[in-house]
Chains A and B, each alone.
Chain A
Amino acid sequence: SQQGEEDPQALSIQEGENATMNCSYKTSINNLQWYRQNSGRGLVHLILIRSNEREKHSGRLRVTLDTSKKSSSLLITASRAADTASYFCATDSGAGSYQLTFGKGTKLSVIP
């Protein structure tokens, strides 16, 4: 069963705008990760946030984690056409597990 579920399924914005994607999960985690997939390519790791962290930044990316609500958000600021891709959250199942379960992703389109 899916652990992470992204919302929205699809998002279309103008270049320069911010894009926010959300992820909800069901069980306790050690950490949560966000990945990006360009069309026809493999997934690429973007950022990892641990369960004891609430916010993390990497360049134009900002990730928040609310373990009480079992949710996370990914914010991409000042979006560019090159940010067009699908974005997935991935969670482990805690307790030392190294397996990741992925959501179905948010398809982001940034219009030049």
Chain B
Amino acid sequence: DAGVIQSPRHEVTEMGQEVTLRCKPISGHNSLFWYRQTMMRGLELLIYFNNNVPIDDSGMPEDRFSAKMPNASFSTLKIQPSEPRDSAVYFCASSFPGRSSGNTIYFGEGSWLTVV
């Protein structure tokens, strides 16, 4: 099993540029999550999809952030325009909630974003 695949692993961009982060969830999983991790705020849930439909985007910081899931095997998180305070590690995670597995989440390795 390949696990959750994220790209790019590392990105350095200039303030004002558009950033697109990509995620391929584990095959068969029907829930997908985008998290952001910083030293100051820890892990924050940005948005949660179930069966490709956004269920809760209350964690998306502002209109500069958008996320899509056009199909069950692909999701993007876009920041436009990017700002230095967006520098963080962005994790994609997926799960298949059930009685036996509960809601165990499987994380990708993260996309390390630096906005200068």
Contact = CB atoms under 8 A, between A and B. Distances in A.
Interface residues of B, number: 23
B78 to A, nearest CB: 21
Interface in B19-44: 31, 33, 35, 42-43
Nearest to A46: B104
Interface string B96-113: 010000111111111000
Contact of A99 (B56, B102, B104, B107): B56
B42 A98 contact: no
A48 B103 CA distance: 9
Bin the interface of chain A by size: 20 to 34
Contacts, number: 53
A95 B69 CA distance: 25
Contacts of A41: 109-110
Interface of B: 4, 31, 33, 35, 42-43, 45, 48, 50, 56, 91, 93, 95, 97, 102-110
Given A42-B109, A92-B103, 7 more contacts: A30-B102, A31-B102, A43-B105, A98-B31, A98-B103, A99-B103, A105-B42
Contacts of A44: 107
B109 A98 contact: no
